[in-house]
A = this chain, B = another copy of it.
Amino acid sequence: MVSTTTTAVAENGLVCVFCGSSDGRDPAYGEAAQALGRALAGSRYGLVYGGGGLGLMGRVARAVHESSGRVLGIMPRALTKVEGCGEEVGEVVMVDSMHQRKSLMNDHAVAFIALPGGFGTLEELLEMTTWSQLSIHKKPIIVLNTNGYYSGLKNLIEHTVDAGFVRGAHKGIIQFCDTPEEAVAAIKTYTGPEDRHDLTWK
């Protein structure tokens, strides 16, 4: 495979995509991953992600790469046998822990987009949401709700607000979109809540 690393495009920065290392049962998920990759590169964004070559992770990475976008994977050494190594589609940084992976992804990202995934994907999405709530970052967080995959999460968040554990304004930290094109457009138009907890982190 011809390496395009040196010429790969990311003028508008890297977008962190969280998603499954499986394809899921609905072919729409894989199609959305590929369309998202193309849309990111088309809008001059590169990709930072978990570094896997399998499932939706592999699909979004290959799509960005094939559209001449920069791909940066952050892979915990222990995980390569579960998620597959994505070295062939860009740079891969190997780390020791899940926390190092998430910190580095955040360091490199200008925004976060979640595609369908399992526990790990949900956790990554909710951690970046918590960090936004606490002013650790104020970057766009976008959920691509392909065929309603995340409608249950949307309901769960409504319930945390109704039950008095999340401020109503804070549910706006996550913006739900229906199509990959909308999700990429939302990076620029995103407005998070103004009343985050105003904390100072080192």
Which residues on A are within 8 Å of B, measured CB to CB?
Answer: 20, 22-26, 29, 76, 78-79, 81-82, 96-99, 102-103, 116-123, 126-127, 129-131, 133-134, 136, 149, 152-153, 155-156, 159-160, 162-166, 170, 173, 197, 199-202
Which among B23, B78, B126 is the interface contact of A119 at CB below 8 angstroms?
B126
B122→A126 contact, CB < 8 A = yes
Which among B82, B122, B162 is the interface contact of A199 at CB below 8 angstroms?
B82
Complex interface: chain B residues within 8 A of A102 (CB): 99
Complex interface: chain B residues within 8 A of A160 (CB): 117-119, 122
In the assembled complex, how far is the CB of residue A93 from the closest CB belonging to chain B, in whole angstroms?
A: 17
B164→A24 contact, CB < 8 A = yes
In the assembled complex, how far is the CB of residue A4 from the closest CB belonging to chain B, in whole angstroms?
A: 30
Complex interface: chain B residues within 8 A of A170 (CB): 118-119
In the assembled complex, how far is the CB of residue A14 from the closest CB belonging to chain B, in whole angstroms?
A: 21
Question: How many angstroms from the CA of A36 to the CA of B83 in the assembled complex?
Answer: 38
B202→A25 contact, CB < 8 A = no
Complex interface: chain B residues within 8 A of A120 (CB): 130, 133
Question: How many angstroms from the CA of A160 to the CA of B149 in the assembled complex?
Answer: 8
A22-B116 contact, Cβ under 8 Å, with A156-B153, A199-B81: no
B123→A119 contact, CB < 8 A = no
Question: How many angstroms from the CA of A121 to the CA of B162 in the assembled complex?
Answer: 16
A117→B165 contact, CB < 8 A = yes
Question: How many angstroms from the CA of A85 to the CA of B47 in the assembled complex?
Answer: 39
Which among B122, B155, B197 is the interface contact of A152 at CB below 8 angstroms?
B155
B165→A130 contact, CB < 8 A = no
